[in-house]
Chains A and B, each alone.
Chain A
Amino acid sequence: MLKIIDLHIHQGNFHLSADAITPEVGINAVLGPSGAGKSTLLSVLAGFDHPQQGRILWQGTDITKLPPSQRPVAMLFQDNNLFPHLTIYRNIALALTHKSRISADQHDRILQALDRVGLAGLADRKPAQLSGGQISRAALARVMLQAQPILLLDEPFAALGPALKQEMLDLLADVAAQSGATVLMVTHDPNDALRIAPKTILVADHKITGAFDTRDLLQNPPPALADYLHGSG
């Protein structure tokens, strides 16, 4: 279980706080107006930023002070998810090993992951030779192999067309369901949340609250969220 307790984040003039958040296993959307701090929340969970105060607990252990690589977290950023100078195969392999030699077992797992995301046969391509959708899939494959119980996604499919985005969301939902991970996904589109996220965490007015039932939240949004969704007046 992931628990966020009494979090206070200060960055210059910006501040954000949370009393107690318990994201659920499965997909949690993270919604809120621009600049509210959704990405910052993910950054803090991953370990790239540090809160002034507060604790992050995983299965009862306090992981607040751990460096990113030691947290049970895998993250997909908005961009720069792959190293452009390495092949997809090598990019994905880095999730399993940092050595140049890949064992037979690891090789199989990599190919399996590629297959799973529909990129079979493209292992030797470099990111520049792939489309946006294919890059997202490759990044997803890598995250799968990292096999961490917590998965953070920062608008990973924002640049894709609607049909492609829905395909990726469905794939994500599938992968998450299979792995049983706790997923936090920042998105700008409430429809994304409705589509695959049973729960939603709200970041607005300098506060993080959640996790709410997505449908309930969107039907009866609090004022800050309502402004964001429908505009004022």
Chain B
Amino acid sequence: MAHRTVAIITGAFVALLVLAPLATVWGWAQSGRAIGAADWAALRFTVLQSLLSALLSCLFAVPLARALARRRFWGRDWVMTALGAPFILPVLIAVMGVLAVFGQNGLVNRALGMFGVEPVSIYGIAGVLLVHVFFNLPLVTRMIVQGWSRVPAEHLRLAGQLGLRGWAMFRVVEWPMLMRVLPPAFGIIFVICLSSFAVALTLGGGPKATTIELAIYQAFRYDFDLAKAANLALIQAALAGAAAVITVMISGRETVSNTRDRRVFWPVDHWRIAFGDGLWITAAIVFLGLPVVMVVAQGITGVPTLGMAVWGAAGRSIVIAAVSTALCLALALPLTTRWGEVIGTAGLAISPLVLGAGLFLIIRNFANPFDWALGVTCVLNAVLSLPFVLRILRPPAETIRVNYTRLAQSLGLGPIAWLRWVFIPRLRQPLGFAAGVTAALSMGDLGVIVLFGTSEQATLPLKIYQLMGAYRMDQAAAGAVVLLILSLGIFALCDYWGRRNVKDY
């Protein structure tokens, strides 16, 4: 069937895009230093912090998502959109923000200082987990809320009739849903944290907090030991691949039901439960929002001082984001299946540094790679965002297929008609969210620009980095605010487009 063919071709393309550079780098390398004790220590730490980050993110997301799913309050839509914010923040900005709140000189410690308490240092594994949870909690929360909206209303009403409360409610209704949603969420966060590098190092407090990505970075940029870089990248990829396969397989197929974002009827409600929910939601808003507010506060006054170079880079970043998003969605639509998601997640698995180097070597054979810098950036952005987009799109996509394939087949809808009349319109809400996530991620991505050279084609994050490198910290902070506002703005726009007029669905 045509759908199958397109899916296979797309999957093969993505796999090739990810594996070919890796193979190229490997083949290009001459000698290689062995993987030493330091590297194994890095591997251990990497896996440990990834597991813990994923675990904590999921753990905190469960009650938060429950609270959000069953409450309706003024501004809820904004909160749901804002929940996407931390995830799409550029790493640099998120770290700045978190430190502004939790760092030695941050709000918390300054407040503690007023009471004469010694400053609490988050530098160490706690800091790493803090930032990782800050990034990923919102994503998992949103996935679980989506999961809640797919629980059939009848199940909840039945639970109400049976008077299920507390643990029974959890076991009968919530747990099955979580078993479908959490494993892939866990998997994807694990994979994201696997390639964490600057965050881990800076907040980790020192070389104890070395990750594989740092070892790859060192091997590549400083030792120029391509073989070692490729070997390490392979190990990283194997870990990520295993995680992807395991968690996607556990999650199983989606069942038929409504995908409307309606309020989840809670059978046994109580003011104490509502109060608890309120606490969770408030805590989340503070924890996630305060760093963002601090970033804005620190940089907003410097915005008028930014020159054309920065604004030009901002414009360029927006264009790149648009192209990357279009490409990513085009790749994602055929891959919204189990295997598609496994392949899609592969994009995250391989170190972007190695991917970039491999592509550089491949392109070099027939063209000047520097001319292709922007194009390669778009392609890599698309591939790196693919796992998230697939995680967002796959459950509703499967529901659509379960509900409407027969009708479409009996009407003889070909692949294009299916896309146009059924698939894309019905995917509007998650599509908007996915587009927003991709666009924002692309905005904040330093990308392979680093290797491919910049000349006049700098993106906004790179400009911020250049400002920092030239001592202009205030302007860098201002640039960060611009990046933040643009990223959030684009995300909110796409998400809003997706949510508009969805009530008829």
Contact = CB atoms under 8 A, between A and B. Distances in A.
A191 B411 CA distance: 31
Given A85-B425, A86-B421, A128 B410 contact: no
Nearest to A126: B504
Interface in B395-442: 403-404, 406-407, 409-414, 416-417, 420-422, 425-426
- For chain B, which range describes its interface: under 10, 10 to 19, 20 to 34, or 35 or more residues? 20 to 34
Nearest to B422: A83
Contacts of B411: 69, 94-95, 146
Nearest to B426: A85
A73 B422 contact: no
15 contacts: A46-B406, A48-B406, A48-B409, A67-B1, A68-B409, A69-B411, A69-B412, A80-B406, A80-B407, A83-B407, A85-B426, A94-B411, A98-B413, A128-B504, A146-B411
A81 B409 contact: no
A67 B414 CA distance: 12
Given A68-B409, A83-B407, A84-B504, 5 more contacts: A46-B406, A69-B412, A74-B410, A77-B406, A98-B414
Given A98-B421, A126-B504, A128-B504, A80 B404 contact: yes
A48 B409 CA distance: 9
A contact face: mostly helix, strand, loop, or mixed: loop
A156 B414 CA distance: 25
By Cβ-Cβ distance, the 6 closest A-B pairs, closest first, are A69-B412, A98-B417, A68-B409, A75-B410, A85-B425, A80-B403
Given A83-B404, A84-B504, A68 B410 contact: yes
Interface in A29-80: 46-48, 67-70, 73-75, 77, 80
Nearest to B409: A68
Contacts of A86: 421, 425
B13 interface: no
B504 A77 contact: no
Contacts of A69: 409-413
Contacts of B414: 98
Given A94-B421, A98-B421, A85 B505 contact: yes
A125 to B, nearest CB: 10
Contacts of A47: 409
B401 to A, nearest CB: 12
Contacts of A95: 411
Interface string B194-236: 0000000000000000000000000000000000000000000
A84 B410 CA distance: 17
A204 to B, nearest CB: 25
Interface string A179-196: 000000000000000000
Interface in B88-114: none
Nearest to B418: A98
Nearest to A139: B407
A35 to B, nearest CB: 19
Interface string A77-111: 10011011110000000110010000000000000
Contacts of B409: 47-48, 67-69
A95 B421 CA distance: 12
A94 B413 CA distance: 9
B315 to A, nearest CB: 34
B234 to A, nearest CB: 42
A53 B406 CA distance: 22
Interface in A194-222: none
A67 B404 CA distance: 16
A67 B410 CA distance: 9
